[in-house]
Amino acid sequence: MGLLFRNMEAATEIFSEWNNRFGHADKDDELRIAIITGISKANPTHYALIIGPNIDRIERTPEISKTFVLVSRVNRMTPESTKNLDAFLKEFDKYGAYYLMPVKLPDKPDEVPHLESKHHLLKGHIHIRPAWQIGEHDFDMVALDVDEVPVIPDGITDAPVLKAMARKRERSGK
């Protein structure tokens, strides 16, 4: 899985920090990678990729405040088909792991992106879920856009995402 960067110095710093923190393999899934499908009923092939800390791996100590902030990066992917995502998930199912690597965005449209393979993080986990299952107190709520209706399967009348979307609209004033 490639993360696109315009600035490879920044990419190198990020991956070096991850390697210092996790080694070359994130065995405990401390860096959570999530793919949220069905984020747009109008564009059902669109999905969101979330990269951030894994809340389940954050140490909880009674002496420490119960308030904290999680910062995640969300990238909304807008492919015309699910071909590439399906191929990635098929390979992940086959091997049970993938490499996370930085990719240099080309400076010109006719150039090919450059994969920087010497900086990588081996991941054995990926969290895949449909948007309709995201509830109002769910950390994956960051993938939802108040201006888009998520895909909700036929027959599901009380999808958790309905409350999540109402909460996001209330917070945004829409």
Q: What is the pLDDT of residues 134-162, one digit of tens each?
A: 999 999 999 999 999 999 999 999 999 99
Q: In the predicted model, is pLDDT for residue 55 greater than 70?
A: yes
What are 77's two structure tokens?
């992917």
Report whether pLDDT(64) > 70.
no
Q: State residue 63's pLDDT score.
A: 62
**Cα dihedral 25/75/86/118 (nearest 10):** -30
Question: 19, exposed or middle or buried, with CB in 10 Å at 0-12, 13-18, 19+?
Answer: middle
Tell me the domain boundaries of the chain: 2-172
% the chain with pLDDT above 70: 94
Pairwise CA distance, residues 3 & 146, whole Å: 25
Cross-strand bridge partners of residue 77? 47
Mean pLDDT of 47-71: 76
Where does the pLDDT of residue 9 fall: very low under 50, low under 70, confident under 90, or very high at 90 and above? Answer: very high
With a pLDDT cut of 90, the percent of the chain lying above it is 77
Q: Which of 71-75, 94-98, 121-125, 151-155 has the lowest mean pLDDT?
A: 71-75
Which residues neighbour 41 within 8 Å (Cβ) at sequence distance 6 or greater? 148, 149, 150, 151, 152
Average pLDDT taken over every residue of the chain: 91
Average pLDDT over residues 121-129: 97
Predicted confidence band at 18 (pLDDT cuts at 50, 70, 90)? very high
